[in-house]
Amino acid sequence: MQVTTTTPLFAATLRPEHSLRMAGGWIALTLAGIVGTPFLLAIPAFLLPGLLAFGIAAGSLVVLGLRQARRKRTSQQVTLWPDQLEVATQLPGAEKQLQRFNPKQIRLRLERDQFERTTGVFLRLGTDETELGSFLSATDKGSFARAFGAALRQARRTG
């Protein structure tokens, strides 16, 4: 049995940005409750609207937390070998999908906004397109596109 020790030209695991922090929302709600409770108790007419507002805020934080937990399970693994590109996509509630491409046959297409920031990274094979890192921020898409583009050019030269 022969063991292959080849390392890929490029490998990246793409995951969504986690910019919103749930702890900050709960801390803000707790502080608002501490500050607002004396007013709610002192003025009984504000009790029902105040409790309703706190209930809506807590419900919104729960929904946001569930949405973030679902997004955390989204990922794309991009591995570029000299003779093959593998894109493994994992979406919440779906099986892992693996796509393989020949680096010499695909084209990298970038979408940019009016300020020349990268807003989309696509692999084009004929008329089919596959988007890479649709869930990434614009900054992350730009840095990923630069690194991946350089590796793809290297794979075309060597493979």
Query: What confidence tens digit (pLDDT) does each residue in 141-156 have?
Result: 999 999 999 999 998 8
With CA atoms as reference, report the closest residue to 149 among 106, 88, 98, 97.
Answer: 106
Q: How confident is the model at residue 66 (pLDDT cuts 50, 70, 90)?
A: confident
Asked whether the whole model's pTM tops 0.85, one would answer: no
Let me know: does 142 contact 117? Beta carbons within 8 Å.
Answer: yes
Residue 2 DSSP symbol = P
| Whether residue 132 is found in the same domain as residue 105 | yes
In-domain check, residue 124 = yes
Same domain, 80 and 129: yes
Distance CA 25, CA 36 (A): 16
**pLDDT surpasses 80 at 39:** no
Do 63 and 79 share a domain, yes or no?
Answer: no
Total domain count, the chain: 2
Q: Do 81 and 154 reside in the same domain of the chain?
A: yes
Q: Is 86 within a domain?
A: yes
65 and 113 co-located in one domain:
no
109 lies in which domain range? Answer: 75-158
DSSP-based helix, strand, coil % in the chain, nearest 5: 45, 25, 30
